């Protein structure tokens, strides 16, 4: 089935017929948008300076899963998130944040 409104898939890859794409508004597209948000620190992009999460480099652990979920939710309202946070069992300096994504219907 052809893609009606294609968006580049992440990570960007070329195939024999061109770039890999996903359908706009589908779960994979929304997950890609969340990936971009959590991979970007606020202020990194000149054309979208508010995009991303605050740089956690010098924050105390735990970083705050609720805060991260709130930031993602503001920037990607199509995503329904469950964000959990735990300290690594072997290294107390590692904060593990898991993000589960589903879609919010009716916002497309």
Give 6-103's CATH code, choosing from 3.60.40.10, 3.10.450.40, 3.40.50.150, 1.10.10.410: 3.10.450.40
Angle at 100 between CA 49 and CA 75, to 5 degrees: 20
**What pLDDT, on the 0 to 100 scale, is given for residue 1?**
65
Instruction: Answer whether residue 74 shows pLDDT above 60.
Output: yes
Better pLDDT: 74 or 58: 74
Confidence of residue 105 (pLDDT cuts 50, 70, 90): low
User: What are the residue boundaries of the structural domains of the chain, listed by start?
Assistant: 6-103
**What pLDDT, on the 0 to 100 scale, is given for residue 58?**
80
In this prediction the pTM is: 0.81
What does the pLDDT look like over 13-63, one tens digit per residue? 998 888 999 999 999 999 999 999 999 999 999 999 999 998 888 877 777
- Reading phi first (left if > 0) and then psi (alpha if -120 to 50, else beta), residue 46 is in alpha
């Amino acid at each position: 089935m052809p893609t009606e409104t294609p968006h580049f898939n992440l990570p960007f890859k070329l195939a024999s017929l061109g770039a890999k794409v996903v359908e706009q508004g589908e779960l994979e597209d929304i997950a890609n948008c969340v990936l971009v948000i959590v991979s970007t620190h606020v202020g990194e992009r000149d054309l979208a300076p508010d995009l991303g999460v605050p740089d956690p480099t010098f924050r105390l652990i735990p970083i705050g899963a609720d805060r991260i979920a709130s930031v993602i939710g503001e920037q990607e309202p199509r995503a329904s998130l469950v964000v959990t946070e735990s300290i690594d069992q072997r290294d107390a300096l590692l904060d593990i944040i898991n993000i589960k994504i589903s879609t919010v219907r009716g916002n497309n």
